[in-house]
Chain A
């Protein structure tokens, strides 16, 4: 399945953070979502063949990478208190409605 690391993370406002995701075997597309408490996941961006393939309404301080082995990173610069959320990675076989989620990384910004 999809794996994510770390499980939990506490950062201070203004710091930078990197979250990691390994996609499910055979999946070459990774999408990142932010889920605030009590809300549904919000799409951040998607990576396909190591290029950004769509982006939601998130500022440029949210950036990502996809590697040749289809794993991915989400980087957030200049952390704000509102960035506290569960960050979810989803993989799929190509860009698709059929996306499978990892367990998430819970980020707390103090």
Chain B
């Protein structure tokens, strides 16, 4: 079993839809949870990070962490064609950690 599981998709939605992206993990030591967006042939861009359980909102993006279920989510409201990208979840145990552990990424396509 991989430490972080993420459905690779692809996920196709119409413009304006609410998108839900998810990851599950097995290591209960993970405390920091990140979402990265990666456009084709580019490096990952840090979107949001969350510490422990709870919600965090930033504009159209909301990140949720449920440590009891070892499940994290990223919601995108009012999705736009410019949101079309691969979304990677990443996790780490310590604030001063070294290795981010990534999921495989979910490819999202938003059509106008």
B96 and A95 within 8 A (CB) = yes
| Stretch with Cβ within 8 A of B (4 or more), from A12-20, A39-47, A65-73, A75-83 | A39-47
| Stretch with Cβ within 8 A of A (4 or more), from B39-47, B58-66, B77-85 | B39-47
Contact count A vs B, C-beta below 8 Å: 67
B99 and A56 within 8 A (CB) = yes
- Interface of chain B: mostly helix, strand, loop or mixed: loop
B49 and A40 within 8 A (CB) = no
Q: How many residues of chain A are within 8 Å of chain B by beta carbon?
A: 28
The closest CB in chain A to the CB of B45 belongs to: A101
Q: Name the residue among B32, B45, B100 with the largest chain A CB count within 10 angstroms.
A: B100
Could you say which residues of chain B place their CB within 8 Å of the CB of A88?
43-44
> Is B34's CB within 8 Å of the partner chain A?
yes
A-B interface, 4 closest residue pairs, ranked by CB to CB distance from nearest: A40-B102, A54-B98, A43-B99, A97-B32
